Structure 1
Amino acid sequence: MPSITPAIVDPETGTEVAEASGKAALFRNTFFSEPPHADLNDIASAQYPEPIPLPRITEKEVIEAITSSKAFKAPGLDQITNKALQAGRLALASHLTNIFNSSIDLAYCTAHFRRSTTVVLRKPGKDNYTTPKAYRPIALLNTIGKIMDALLARRLSYIAETYDLLPRAHIGGRRQKSTEHALHNIIDKVHHAWNTGQVQVASLLLLDVSGAFDNVSHERLLHDLRARRVDERLVRWIASFLSNRSTNIVVDGFQSRPYTVSTGIPQGSPLSPILYIYYNSSLIQPSNTDTDPEGTTAVTGYIDDAALLAWGDSTEDTCSQLEDMLEKAQHWAHAHASKFAPEKFQLTHFTRSRTRFDLEKGIETAWCNIAPKATCKYLSVTIDTKLHWKSHIEAMQRKVSSTIGALHSLGSSTWGVKMLEMRKIYRGVAIPQMMYACSLWSRGRTSGCGYTKQTLQTLQALQARPARTICGAYRATSAAALNIETFLLPVEQQIEKHNADAVVRMLASKDPGTVQTRAISARRNRYTSPFERIRRSFAAHAAIDLGTSEHIPPFVAAPWRTGPTIYIDNAEEARSRHDIESEKAENICIYADGSGIGGCIGAAAVCLTANRIERTYMGTDATSTVYAAELQGINLALQIAQNTLEDTSSPRQVAIRTDNQAAIRSLVRAEGRSGAYILKQIACRTDTLQDKGHTVIVRWIPSHEGIEGNEAADIAAKEATGWREGQDGSEAADRAAQPEELYAVLSTLKRKSREEAEKKWQGTWRTGTTGRSSFRYTPIPSKRTLQLHSGLSKRESALLVQLRTEKVGLKDFLFNRNVPGVRDSLCHCREGRQTVRHVVLTCRRLRDLRKEHLGGLPGRTNLRGILNSHKLATKTIRFIEQAQILGHNGIGEE
């Protein structure tokens, strides 16, 4: 097999190694080298707090872990795929549950779970791939073992979030958190410094830990887990999980013999990220302003990346503070067998004053002097000293341009990947690269929209290039028309939508009171952070009080919580089971529903046997959704059940019926979902009923199938909004009372941001001066434009777009573009200019061909109707191709 990696230079001898076996040995020495000695003197006398007990693993957890695994992840030595486990999850669940529980009881991780294959992958963006450190080891593990790892990782995450075991500023690898959270956490504090006193300076020091996962000290990790109250049974199992591991290294098709791995945690295990977060939490904990609001230092962590920030009246002051923080970090490194790479440290001073501060002031360390730079790179974002983001925007443009170049290789106007597939690739790869962290760089300047007109024009040109490749349009086609034909949101609106969504996500993951307090104080500040500028802008334009938005916690309930039993059958089976269960007198049957009517949302639950009806008004569709109302209906059904069974001692079955499958599925794994505050109430009510011995089942039933209870619940939900059957829409009846807790759900806020972006797109398209040919066919941007290309080849899609934009190889267009050899714009029939309209509708030379393809079809005399209908447009493409009248390069580009 040919080599896929270049010759690797041995860092000790400087000799090149070309043989795969020699490379494997070098990678082994690099990845699994002997780590520094950890200072463990404090462990022997350590006193640990009371651990948090964890119950036995449940079948529900096993099934969820299997279901949530990626089906086609590469397997380990066992070659069992996740897809196979998913296919047999119901049959395997009880057996795996017993195995996993026995494994923990015995504090023994099965030997074959600890054997792996280490695949060597390039680290992206490196200049030199002849050094071993330019590569990353990825362990391919036993898939059943990874199911157990994922299950235990979720448990560790749950207790960390529920019992506040980790520093708040330790952001990476945690639910409801992202890199944008970490970046805004730093930038907000820089703006805080700028708004303090006579304007302070902030200094950021980025640390780099060499081989973070590979150098983890097992003894120290176990100590850290005990110190943070992890169940002793789980700690002992983790000790076994880490011990006596072995791996084969695979490089260039060569597989080495098994090597023993005595240190570190395996990169590739779902358990490793959360273990490392526990491991380095004491590095993030000191100097955190979460515990000292008046402090002048802060640490932000993102898994193995640590950012130290200090602010003060001078760079001498901030550097002195950073030196103290770095000294504490070094103590952590000694105790944790970790090794810093000071040559990779980055220091940047943040200020917009040119002369007031000494921006050349560096940090003196035991290793070397760290000189400040005008920019630093953190979590793939280039941050400059003035927070104008010019360097990042330029780097982003280069990266996106490279991606677009690769996209061009997938096709042109006459061949290659079909239009809809290529559009999907662009939206899935290039747009995320372009929009990454735009909630920071697009709001860097204090005036206007936050970025320069030149930046916007550059980004617009960046999007126009792939849009032209996607649809096969001529270069003369305007960017506005390209956006319409490919239904790509213009860059300016993409930025606004992404920013609004980012702020809404961050608000949902934080305590709303804290955000509101910060927002109120920020109004008096000279420098406004990007987060606050976006928050104000979105709240003003969308007319929404973001202080009332919902908070989505990392977990709504414990992973091992049983919850209600759910059933989602096909319509016939669901109806049959409904009829059988309804005949059982011991069952309490309650119907739940949510409804939206006239822009208002209502929820209701109906119990026919107990003659009980509960209704609640969920506000307008700017606050709630029908999905949230469906959840509230289930919540009301549980409330009816509680009231009905209040004085009942014998166990009963509570059977709740609803016609919304999404709401039912949310009951099983609720975390991270919109409507979390309702799901939490449902969980509490369900637990209360189950604790009293009652059984709770939630079953899907088909809607509007004549099921009496379902129809009654539907009417009750509508009546909750003030609607009454047979009444004039102008007459408003009394609405039901609102629930005690009512928040704007995340999905409504995201929908509002999308609507605002589309509204602005519609406005600019309507008043624009370019792309008027496309405007005649699509006066309002619509996704229906994409439906025209269903089933078309790339060549056919290109011709359709060219016809709609009227930038096509007909003489009228070619003559206006001064194409050599085209002497006039007249059609060959000499009865008019050779335009799209003339050729498709009136040219007498093409009368017979036109009749053959378009004759007898309704709408054939309306060009707009023809090119807006999939059937007619397809026939028109055939007609144009057979007419053979396209000049110059046919349907190719100019």
Structure 2
Amino acid sequence: MPLEDDECRPSIFADDNAFWIIGDNMKEVVKKAQVMMTQLEHWATSADLEFSPDKTQAMMISNRRIETPEKLTMCGKEVQYVTNARFLGYTVNNKMTGKQHVEQTKNSCIRRMNLLRMISGANWGPKPEFLLEFYTKYIRAKLEYASIISASDCQSTLSKLDTVQNSALRIAYGARKSTPIGFMLSESGLEDLQTRRNMHILKYTSKVWLADKNHPVKSLIVKPGLVYANNQTKKRKNYYVLEKAEELMKNQGMRLNFSEMLSVCNPRRPPPWEVDKLVCETNFEERKAIVPAFLAMKAEKYHGYLEIYTDGPPSFKQNSWQSIKQQSTSFQHRYGCNAFLICTDSKSVVSALKNIHAKNITREVLITCETISKLIDEGSSVVLHWIPGHRGIEGNEAADQEAKDALANGTSVEEFAPTVINNIRSAMQQMRVARAQHIQDVTGNMFALKKTKLQPTKIYSKLSREQIRIIFRLRSGHAGYGVFKARMFGEDGNCSICSVPETREHLLLRCPAHEQQRLEVKRYCRTRNIHLTVETMLGECENIEDSVEMCKLTCSYVSKIKSVI
């Protein structure tokens, strides 16, 4: 396509094409756009193609007051000017804000939420884990589409998407509308959308950081980011994705140096003729007499090779291979040795090196392959061989013991990834832990505070739909007993029999009118040596079996006293 003009920047993906022109004078911009559209018409005619002028749209993007622009034509028809345009699933407006995209995404997801309501009810339907998986795969995936671009939107706009997730959690557990969001997140083990958006930004930043030097993102995003970093007097509310990543890292006490981004890239994949040089063996037969078999194999196939033993993946570090290279040079000069047999008990590492062109190959494997190839190019013969672990092979046992001693002494090992990537990973972990702790602290619920990390509560998977609704509402504290009704609806909060405040503890343990109905629960607690409390009645026992049985007895008790939960 004839989009080689320096002033015209194209974006082409299959049959969705766009180009934009940047300038200070609107008339000049429209004139250049018309010239480009005419060139595209001629190219399409020569290629026996045809553009659709009815689907073609033009948009003027500016913070200034936009006057009525001149007409644009394509194939003899006038091109319509719009204020909102949808490209590759993202809606862009002429002020470069994401309000329209957020509104459209929210409305679309609300329609999808109707499917959740259709397959579940208060007392019937699938378990919460199925409903939450349906939500994450079918609804949340749409909520998070283009979340990297949405990083520049204000928080008040993005928070509109949170209501969709909150509704899904209420449907999954049968919760009341007043249930705290933090408690629902704690029980389900899901992260809030803002935390996930921040995680996506940091993941994308690390991906761009390791991209090739000629990657278009580094020229289109990194360089503008450097200009902004050098102009600290510039103030604005919105941030580009890398500027947002810089802000997130700064909150964790770390910094990003964008000037280093252009000098860091992933190691290249070796060509096929270099891969053929690597000798990786994984077909060593396991036998009872493993030591004699190993000695026979060395004598037959690798006589004269220098043996080097490693302890699985942690030993494949760049410094380790550099030391091997130095040792090979010294042994070559001292003993005339240039053949090495590297033995490891990690079959996955050897298999990865054999399949170096697999799609999911890691950075560590590429660096390892590159370093071994350098040894081979220098005239050395290198064989990487898998051996079964813990079978009495002297060198393998010694390597295993040294690795254990290093871990016990706190010896650090240099990572393959650059320091900035390790810092990003560390920041992501810190953010997850801090956010989970914040959710639990803000909720203030005794069941949420007992959790050490954000994970789903297991008892719900073994309960019926009606039992899930009762237990969840009682655990959240938003159930139909007197104190809750008084707080939410202004009704009388006293027990109709005892004339004391009807709290959750009073309803489950203290009310004398229901003593007969509690006998079955007390009998089970005596049998299993369980201390009867509100926590144990709602599933906080030492093992999952007792927790589930106590929840079932609690639901049976609630149905007997005919309390509306």
- Shorter-chain TM band: 0.7 to 0.9
- Matched residue type, 1:592: T
Query: Does 1:299 pair with 2:299?
Result: no
Residue 251 of structure 2 corresponds to 541
Tell me whether 361-370 or 692-701 shows the greater mean CA deviation.
Answer: 692-701
Measure, in 2, the Cα distance between the counterparts of 1:342 and 1:776: 60
Out of 468, 471, 475, the position equivalent to 1:804 is 475
Do the aligned residues in 1 keep the contact of 2:281 with 2:386 (CA within 8 Å)? yes
SS at match of 2:367: helix
- Unpaired runs of 5+ residues, structure 1, are 1-281, 288-294, 445-449, 596-602, 605-629
Distance 1:303-1:632 versus aligned 2 partners, 3 A rule:
farther
Do the aligned residues in 2 keep the contact of 1:493 with 1:761 (CA within 8 Å)? no
SS at match of 1:298: strand
Measure, in 1, the Cα distance between the counterparts of 2:435 and 2:178: 24
Residue 383 of structure 1 corresponds to 92
Out of 265, 269, 281, the position equivalent to 1:556 is 269
TM-score (norm 1): 0.53
Measure, in 1, the Cα distance between the counterparts of 2:481 and 2:248: 46
Residue 165 of structure 1 corresponds to none
Measure, in 1, the Cα distance between the counterparts of 2:142 and 2:350: 33
Query: Does 1:346 pair with 2:57?
Result: yes
Residue 626 of structure 1 corresponds to none
Measure, in 1, the Cα distance between the counterparts of 2:350 and 2:175: 44
Tell me whether 500-509 or 412-421 shows the greater mean CA deviation.
Answer: 500-509
Out of 344, 353, 356, the position equivalent to 1:657 is 344
- Matched residue type, 2:226: I
Q: Which has the higher contact order (CA 8 A, sep 6+)?
A: 2
Measure, in 2, the Cα distance between the counterparts of 1:315 and 1:817: 58
Aligned length: 540
Distance 1:650-1:751 versus aligned 2 partners, 3 A rule:
closer
Measure, in 1, the Cα distance between the counterparts of 2:267 and 2:48: 31
Residue 94 of structure 1 corresponds to none
Measure, in 2, the Cα distance between the counterparts of 1:325 and 1:576: 76
Out of 260, 267, 282, the position equivalent to 1:567 is 282
Query: Does 1:759 pair with 2:430?
Result: no
Distance 1:414-1:333 versus aligned 2 partners, 3 A rule:
same
Residue 553 of structure 2 corresponds to 879
Instruction: Give the superposition deviation at 1:667.
Output: 5.8
Query: 5 Å matches for 1:118-137?
Result: none
Residue 395 of structure 2 corresponds to 709
Residue 225 of structure 2 corresponds to 519
Name the one with the larger helix percent: 2
Instruction: Give the superposition deviation at 1:680.
Output: 3.5
Instruction: Give the superposition deviation at 1:424.
Output: 1.6
Tell me whether 423-432 or 645-654 shows the greater mean CA deviation.
Answer: 645-654
Query: Does 1:826 pair with 2:495?
Result: yes
Distance 1:386-1:323 versus aligned 2 partners, 3 A rule:
same
Measure, in 2, the Cα distance between the counterparts of 1:661 and 1:534: 37
Kindly report the root-mean-square deviation, in angstroms, between the aligned alpha carbons of the 2 structures.
Answer: 4.1
Measure, in 1, the Cα distance between the counterparts of 2:204 and 2:403: 33
SS at match of 2:148: helix
Measure, in 1, the Cα distance between the counterparts of 2:384 and 2:563: 66
Instruction: Give the superposition deviation at 1:803.
Output: 2.4
Residue 294 of structure 2 corresponds to 581
Measure, in 1, the Cα distance between the counterparts of 2:419 and 2:447: 38
Measure, in 2, the Cα distance between the counterparts of 1:509 and 1:748: 17
Query: 5 Å matches for 1:239-250?
Result: none
TM-score (norm 2): 0.80
Distance 1:524-1:693 versus aligned 2 partners, 3 A rule:
closer
Distance 1:827-1:688 versus aligned 2 partners, 3 A rule:
farther
Instruction: Give the superposition deviation at 1:361.
Output: 3.5
Query: Does 1:478 pair with 2:216?
Result: no
Distance 1:831-1:705 versus aligned 2 partners, 3 A rule:
farther
Residue 122 of structure 2 corresponds to 413
Measure, in 1, the Cα distance between the counterparts of 2:292 and 2:85: 67
| Per-residue Cα deviation, 1:778-814 (whole angstroms, up to 9, x for no partner) | 3556344433334334333333322211223445545
| Per-residue Cα deviation, 1:491-547 (whole angstroms, up to 9, x for no partner) | 332332222223333333353986665432222454675223213213312314365
Residue 451 of structure 1 corresponds to 155
Do the aligned residues in 2 keep the contact of 1:487 with 1:781 (CA within 8 Å)? no
Out of 828, 853, 860, the position equivalent to 2:524 is 853
Out of 864, 869, 877, the position equivalent to 2:535 is 864
- Unpaired runs of 5+ residues, structure 2, are none
Query: 5 Å matches for 1:298-697?
Result: 298-354=9-65, 357-358=66-67, 360-444=69-153, 450-452=154-156, 455-511=157-213, 517-524=223-230, 526=234, 530-542=240-252, 543-545=254-256, 547=258, 553=266, 556-558=269-271, 561-562=275-276, 563-565=278-280, 567=282, 573=286, 580-583=293-296, 584-585=298-299, 586=303, 588-593=306-311, 604=315, 630=316, 632=318, 635=321, 639=325, 643=329, 654-659=341-346, 661=348, 665=352, 668-669=355-356, 676=363, 679-683=366-370, 685-686=372-373, 689=376, 694=381, 696-697=383-384
SS at match of 1:344: coil
Identity %: 15
| Per-residue Cα deviation, 1:267-310 (whole angstroms, up to 9, x for no partner) | xxxxxxxxxxxxxxx556x23xxxxxxx4321122233222121
Measure, in 2, the Cα distance between the counterparts of 1:505 and 1:755: 19
Instruction: Give the superposition deviation at 1:408.
Output: 2.0
Measure, in 1, the Cα distance between the counterparts of 2:115 and 2:387: 47
| Per-residue Cα deviation, 1:200-235 (whole angstroms, up to 9, x for no partner) | xxxxxxxxxxxxxxxxxxxxxxxxxxxxxxxxxxxx
SS at match of 1:656: strand
Name the one with the larger strand percent: 1
Do the aligned residues in 1 keep the contact of 2:225 with 2:242 (CA within 8 Å)? yes
Distance 1:718-1:876 versus aligned 2 partners, 3 A rule:
closer
Measure, in 1, the Cα distance between the counterparts of 2:535 and 2:255: 39
Measure, in 2, the Cα distance between the counterparts of 1:646 and 1:505: 40
Measure, in 2, the Cα distance between the counterparts of 1:555 and 1:795: 56
- Matched residue type, 2:137: G
Do the aligned residues in 1 keep the contact of 2:187 with 2:448 (CA within 8 Å)? no
Instruction: Give the superposition deviation at 1:374.
Output: 0.6
Query: 5 Å matches for 1:25-40?
Result: none
Instruction: Give the superposition deviation at 1:475.
Output: 2.5
